[in-house]
């Protein structure tokens, strides 16, 4: 049911609703309550260019204003007795993934620095710091 609702809403946003603020909106996931009365749809927004930050507030306002039309489309497309209410939340998974990639890149750079420093280093003590059984007898016989 949630997958069907996300498909209907995504199609309606792309082809039927003519609000320019909804350009670049992608429905990524949908969750339904157990009683099928409420649906939460998660969305991401792509900016018009790589340097420009998307207008999250404008998209949220556009989705809020189109909520009634979208609910009507969901009711017609699913054919259930009670059409679920729709709630929209911005999907933060891509932002979290980008943050994780930055942290991993920083960790790789730190590992590379440690490996570079370690190349010319030598051990502080003997090459074999562990006591060997035969060494005790040899040390006693020498004294």
Residue 47 lies in a domain: yes
Give the residue numbers spanning the domain of 61.
Answer: 2-91
Q: pLDDT digit string (tens) for 23-47?
A: 889 899 999 999 989 999 999 888 7
| Higher-confidence position of 84 and 52 | 84
- pLDDT at res. 8: 92
Strands 25-32 and 38-45: antiparallel
Please state the rounded mean pLDDT for residues 2-26. Answer: 89
Token pair recorded at residue 36: 């099928």
Q: Which of 77, 101, 74, 100 is nearest to 85 (CA)?
A: 74
More confident residue, 122 or 13: 13
Measured distance CA(118)–CA(112) in Å, rounded: 10
Q: Assess if residue 18 is contained within a domain.
A: yes
Residue 116 lies in a domain: no
Structure confidence by residue, pLDDT tens digits, 81-137: 899 999 999 988 877 888 999 999 999 999 999 888 888 777 777 767 777 777 656
Whether residue 43 lies inside any domain: the answer is yes
For residue 9, give the nearest of 92, 89, 82 by alpha carbon. 89
Q: What is the number of domains present in the chain?
A: 1
């Amino acid at each position: 049911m949630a997958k069907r609702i996300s498909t209907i809403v995504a199609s309606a946003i792309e082809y039927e609703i003519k609000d320019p603020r909804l350009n670049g909106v992608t429905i990524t996931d949908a969750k339904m309550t157990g009683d099928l009365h409420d649906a939460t749809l998660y969305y991401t927004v792509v900016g018009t260019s790589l340097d420009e930050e998307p207008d999250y507030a404008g998209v949220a306002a556009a989705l809020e204003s189109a909520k009634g039309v979208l609910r009507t489309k969901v009711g017609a497309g699913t054919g259930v007795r009670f059409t679920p209410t729709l709630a929209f939340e911005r999907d933060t998974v891509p932002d979290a993934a980008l943050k994780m990639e930055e942290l991993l890149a920083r960790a790789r750079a730190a590992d590379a620095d440690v490996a570079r420093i370690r190349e010319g280093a030598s051990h502080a003590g003997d090459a074999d710091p562990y006591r060997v059984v035969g060494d005790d007898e040899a040390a006693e016989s020498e004294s």
